[in-house]
């Protein structure tokens, strides 16, 4: 975890998994680098929000794999689910819900599936495409922490690869271009 800048209630906090995805962001807004995965994202954001002032909103910027053909560019996620938590089994065991889908936007937009598995197999991609459009490793965790802290949250994802065969190689080749597009989006917001 690394916080660059100072959080204040009049500005958003940009939450990004790794420095490669934040490579073209400037110092106008605070940036929290969480590390990859749900545990790193949860621990980092919860720690920062517990230490002091809350930002005006949390914006999770990052890359995502496309689960269906034709998905590219930048997307504002409207709903996020966990793909590596068996909510139905947990509900059957305890009678309580864990890991329900979270609404994080309005209007039309993609459903994001979050899990600690980097999706690089065709079978996993096909299974996830039944429920979601994009896949990442931090979005659900960031949204959960922000919701529990009462801070508005947005998930803004740039498609880096077509999840499945070769996704890791494609991510490495495309991450710098994705980071540039994400930084352009931030600047277009007027911050």
Give pLDDT tens digits for 51-102. Answer: 989 999 999 999 999 999 999 999 999 999 998 877 777 677 888 888 899 9
What is the structure's pLDDT at 188? 97
φ and ψ of 143, to 5 deg: -60, -40
CA dist 77 → 59, 151, 174 (Å): 11, 17, 20
Tokens of 11: 């500005």
Span 159-180, pLDDT tens digits = 998 887 766 668 889 999 999 9
What is the structure's pLDDT at 117? 84
What is the structure's pLDDT at 97? 80
Per domain, the residue ranges of the chain are: 2-180
Tell me the three state secondary structure of residue 113.
strand
CA dist 94 → 47, 85, 98, 102, 119 (Å): 29, 14, 10, 21, 29
pTM for this prediction: 0.93
Burial class (CB in 10 A: 0-12, 13-18, 19+), 99: middle
Tell me the CATH number for domain 2-180. Answer: 3.40.50.1580
Quick check: 121 and 165 in contact, CB under 8 A? yes
Span 117-163, pLDDT tens digits = 888 888 999 999 999 999 999 999 999 999 999 999 999 999 998 88
Burial class (CB in 10 A: 0-12, 13-18, 19+), 68: middle
Quick check: 34 and 15 in contact, CB under 8 A? yes
């Amino acid at each position: 975890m690394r916080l660059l800048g100072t959080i204040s209630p009049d500005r958003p906090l940009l939450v990004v998994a790794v420095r490669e995805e934040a490579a073209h962001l400037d110092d106008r807004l605070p940036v929290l680098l969480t590390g990859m995965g749900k545990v790193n994202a949860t621990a980092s954001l919860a720690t920062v929000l517990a230490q002091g002032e809350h930002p005006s909103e949390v914006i999770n910027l990052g890359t995502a794999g496309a689960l269906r053909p034709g998905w590219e560019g930048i997307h504002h996620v409207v709903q996020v689910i966990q793909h590596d938590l068996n909510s139905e089994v947990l509900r059957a065991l305890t009678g309580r819900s864990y890991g329900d889908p979270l609404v994080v936007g309005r209007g039309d937009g993609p459903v994001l599936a979050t899990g600690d598995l980097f999706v690089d197999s065709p079978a996993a991609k096909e299974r996830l495409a039944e429920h979601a459009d994009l896949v990442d490793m931090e979005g659900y965790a960031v949204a959960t922490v922000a919701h529990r802290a009462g801070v508005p949250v947005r998930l803004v994802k740039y498609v880096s690869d077509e999840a499945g065969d070769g996704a890791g190689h494609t991510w490495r080749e495309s991450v710098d271009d994705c980071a540039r597009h994400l930084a352009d989006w931030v600047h277009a917001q007027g911050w």
